[in-house]
Structure 1
Amino acid sequence: MKVLISTVLIWFCVKNVLTLECYWNTECKYKYFGSKTPYEIVRGDIRDSIVRTKGCEAVSIWAIIRHGKRNPEEKYAQNMRHVLKQKDFIVSSYEIGNSSLCAQDIENIKNWNVDTAVLTKLNEIAEEGYQELLRLGSRINEAFPELLKELQEKDYLFLPAFGQRFVDSAKAFVEGLNQNLAVNVTKDSQTLAPYINCRKYQLEVKRNPNIYHEEEEYKKTADYLTIKERIHRKLGLNFTFSNQDITAIYDLCRYTWVGISNKPSPLCAVFSNEDLEVLKFIDDLRHYYHSGYGVSQYSQRLGQIPMADLLRKFQQAKNGKGKKIVSYLTHATMLDMILVALNLNKDTKPLTGAHRDLNRKWSSLYSTFSGNMIAVLNRCSNNKQNEYYNVAFYWNEKPILDLCNRGVCSWQEFEELFKPFLNANIDFCD
């Protein structure tokens, strides 16, 4: 009988230890933080994804890329500094037995020092962001060695949007190509970010607080309120974090997660996987109504501008007068708008704060740090020596399967799809 009781007690203790959720040794950590996700977590590999067809060779590459991982801007950094001051309360709550965090998670939080650059070098590209672009350039260079060998000035265009983080991103990308090439700097945002000079968009969307209505409505739902209560119980504090505080903790979690070395932030231990899914949905809503289908009357037309540039550049390359590589460095907003212009990731029903659709197509993961769209023009010939062209499309280095034949368009399909964009303009802006 004593043996039976002992066995039951041992089983209970072992089961209790095994079912305790600890962040530090969880193998399946949730890594998706909306548009602030490190590129390493979502990317494919152009070296593996590239379409290799017998008799075809790449003659031109066109890419539009979001800047690399950056540090937060002041209004968010200020909130992050505020919640960092609560770190000692989180540790003290555990020490008096109120917290359900694991001992190692608490130790990691206690010994954790945030890189000062994150909260002082505001809006500047982070070291990881520089590496994201450098490595992207290096992979493209490996994938197209013949095309990109010994580029001359007439062969390329690298153009960053206005701002130092875009210039730094462009320089990192060019460094990855392993060549000493010039980066043009311009204040002309017509192709890179036409919405910046679109007065109507700036007034009715960018500066309109109502675009966050669905996000605020969602924060009133049981879905969101449940995570607030769960965090409160987990930390065992004698005060409750505000919505702003939770966002600041989330920002600390995602800005200090290092994707390239797969090093998670200790503060992510505050959240469960489900909590992080809820917070990502908020980011999805924000992008949907800031630059996605929620404002399609603007995003569709503005997204067509760079797509028209893509068609023109490839028409020139097809006629032997184009460049071997064109690369623009831009904002997440522009990537969102391109998705809308191409009618990609469109849900049958609009996203709303009333319901979190787990099967939604729209996602802010398509415009992460260093997110990109790459198009490759290929020249081909068959046994009869007939020359023809096709265009292959990639998003974050993965084929865009919803375009043409799993991401590869014949030249005729490409022109039919993109020719309407030649009529795109921003006359409606004023």
Structure 2
Amino acid sequence: MNFSILFIFITAFIVKGEKKDGYCHQYCYSFDYVRSQTSFFSTKTPYFTMRRKEIGKQFQVANCDPVKIWLYIRHGARLPKAKEMDRLSQLENLRTEIIANYKKSNSTIAFGAMCEADLDLLREWQWNWNITKEYDEHLTTQGWNDIKLIAARYRQFLPNIFEDNYNKQKYLFRYTDVQRTEASFKAFVEGLFGSNAHQYINVPPQSENVKLLKPYKFCASNEEKITGNQSEYRKYLRSNIMTQLAIDVSERLGFGCPLKITQILDVYDMCIYEHAWNPKATSAWCSAFTPSQIHELEYIEELRKYYESGYGIKTNERLVCSLVNDMLNHIGNNDEPKAVVYVTHSSSLLLLLTALKAFSDADSLRASNYYSMSTRKWRLSNIAPLAANFAAVKYNCPNDIEQEKVRFFLNEDLIEFDWCDKGLCNWSDVKKEYDDYIQASCDEYYCSSSNTRESQSGYMFSIALLILAFISCLFVSFSV
């Protein structure tokens, strides 16, 4: 038997009669009308679940006019990947088992039992068989509507930049070569210029802009450090926190023996997908978890993304050299277009934030420090929800000594760097802060043999040693 599974079984037996206080009460999802946990679904958090702090005031600067914008937008809510569809559709079988569990026990689960209203949600749940593999990762209606509304908000907040009609000299749009970003682009321009606006906007092939839209495609990633057996991600999946969660969720669902962690993650995925598709509705599978368990599950993707696209690997910031220069070049000149809009993915957005040194914590995210990182800045639910958007806005301030200013925004909220005056940055300070990118030859700085995500020189050195050892063995063999 796999050791980790054996460990869960043993732990389940030991703690059967000793539950933490947090799990001794019955949580009823159906009667929780606040459901604060739905704002913490990591990168699948709906954009408008997190209420915007202000309505446009953050874009207003006294005695200054916004004149240009550079926007980097993540696509909206999508359907699962084809391989996910296979797994999630099998939850119908798990649902049947759960209902049977409660019939056998006559709803006398010892700790944390589901309320009858939550069980009713499960009884009524069915997989939507219209979601088929041909719609792999396609944008949903909710995703379209969110992106369209975000565009309308930018137009409302920045009327000097986003005018009534499209003009190809004033606006530049790009998106990646997949349906969800193309559809998000169409929704965005519809929000700016009206229905079917995309029909008269010519966008060149994505291949011309890969380094700007998918910068992570050009460097070999350190998969061992991101998701390998000794990665923080894997360590957390094996941690006491996740072991206890597996025990508690399984018991809540009526199982005497813990479910596999993969099954629990499928339940979690179905919960957050359904909430993303319709944030105002209830999801039967969200009833499987208490609010605190959602926060524990949230940390899984935080760890993976921290090392894949964040501060966990130092050289991640180099991957967006061309992208940072593109932003600086656009903001730094007075030429058209007035607006550059790129539609891309969460990994690209997070790499950009990392390069700009935004949302960095004093301590790194690790499997062992979940509790001490409860107030972390690197919280994907806040910084990279569905339809997340980063904006650099240039202002002309004629009454100031330095007239060119910049404000940076994430999800319409002002980013306040400590080297700026209350979020309003002098253009000269922006150039100074990101001078490494300005001075770099991106083709060399970007992904050289010694500077891939986590320097691969150590890996290559290990290979060289193995080759030398093999040659030495051959030499000794032939000598004998």
Asked whether the two chains share a fold, i.e. TM above 0.5, the reply is yes
| Identity percentage of aligned residues | 25
For the pair 1:159 / 2:174, whether they are aligned, the reply is yes
User: Which of 109, 112, 121 matches 2:125?
Assistant: 112
Give CA deviations for 1:227-263 in whole Å, capped at 9, x if unaligned: 1111122111255311110110000000000476522
- Give the Cα separation in 2 of the matches to 1:125 and 1:269: 25
- Aligned in 2, Cα 1:392/1:233: closer, same or farther, shift over 3 Å? same
Residue in structure 2 matched with residue 280 of structure 1 by the alignment: 298
- Aligned in 2, Cα 1:225/1:208: closer, same or farther, shift over 3 Å? closer
Amino acid aligned to 2:186: K
Give CA deviations for 1:139-191 in whole Å, capped at 9, x if unaligned: 11111223222341100011001212111111111111124351514223021
- Aligned in 2, Cα 1:114/1:83: closer, same or farther, shift over 3 Å? closer
Residue in structure 2 matched with residue 22 of structure 1 by the alignment: 28
- Does the aligned pair in 1 maintain the 2:69–2:161 contact within 8 Å? no
- Does the aligned pair in 1 maintain the 2:171–2:340 contact within 8 Å? yes
- Give the Cα separation in 2 of the matches to 1:213 and 1:236: 32
Amino acid aligned to 1:35: T
- Give the Cα separation in 2 of the matches to 1:81 and 1:226: 26
Residue in structure 2 matched with residue 15 of structure 1 by the alignment: none
- Aligned in 2, Cα 1:207/1:72: closer, same or farther, shift over 3 Å? farther
Residue in structure 2 matched with residue 58 of structure 1 by the alignment: 66
Residue in structure 1 matched with residue 433 of structure 2 by the alignment: 417
The worse-fitting range, judged by mean Cα deviation, of 105-114 and 128-137 is 105-114
Q: TM-score, normalised by structure 2?
A: 0.78
User: Partner of 1:157: helix, strand, or coil?
Assistant: strand
User: Which of 396, 405, 425 matches 2:411?
Assistant: 396
User: Partner of 2:393: helix, strand, or coil?
Assistant: strand
User: Which of 190, 194, 201 matches 2:215?
Assistant: 194
1:340, distance to aligned residue in structure 2 (A): 1.4
- Give the Cα separation in 2 of the matches to 1:82 and 1:334: 32
Residue in structure 2 matched with residue 303 of structure 1 by the alignment: 320
1:368, distance to aligned residue in structure 2 (A): 2.0
- Aligned in 2, Cα 1:212/1:244: closer, same or farther, shift over 3 Å? farther
User: Partner of 2:340: helix, strand, or coil?
Assistant: strand
For these two proteins, the number of residue pairs brought into alignment is: 403
Residue in structure 2 matched with residue 371 of structure 1 by the alignment: 388
Amino acid aligned to 1:308: N
1:324, distance to aligned residue in structure 2 (A): 1.4
- Does the aligned pair in 2 maintain the 1:391–1:408 contact within 8 Å? yes
- Does the aligned pair in 2 maintain the 1:303–1:338 contact within 8 Å? yes
1:21, distance to aligned residue in structure 2 (A): 2.1
Residue in structure 2 matched with residue 327 of structure 1 by the alignment: 341
Amino acid aligned to 1:82: Q
- Give the Cα separation in 2 of the matches to 1:265 and 1:337: 32
For the pair 1:74 / 2:74, whether they are aligned, the reply is no
1:211, distance to aligned residue in structure 2 (A): 7.7
Give CA deviations for 1:28-80 in whole Å, capped at 9, x if unaligned: 31111111111122362774343322322111111001111111112322221
- Aligned in 2, Cα 1:109/1:346: closer, same or farther, shift over 3 Å? same
Matches within 5 A, 1:212-223: 213-223=231-241
The worse-fitting range, judged by mean Cα deviation, of 44-53 and 280-289 is 44-53
- Aligned in 2, Cα 1:226/1:211: closer, same or farther, shift over 3 Å? closer
User: Which of 174, 181, 203 matches 2:189?
Assistant: 174
- Does the aligned pair in 1 maintain the 2:30–2:117 contact within 8 Å? yes
Residue in structure 1 matched with residue 461 of structure 2 by the alignment: none
- Does the aligned pair in 1 maintain the 2:166–2:193 contact within 8 Å? no
- Aligned in 2, Cα 1:128/1:82: closer, same or farther, shift over 3 Å? same
- Does the aligned pair in 1 maintain the 2:227–2:304 contact within 8 Å? no
RMSD between aligned residues: 2.4
1:206, distance to aligned residue in structure 2 (A): 9.0
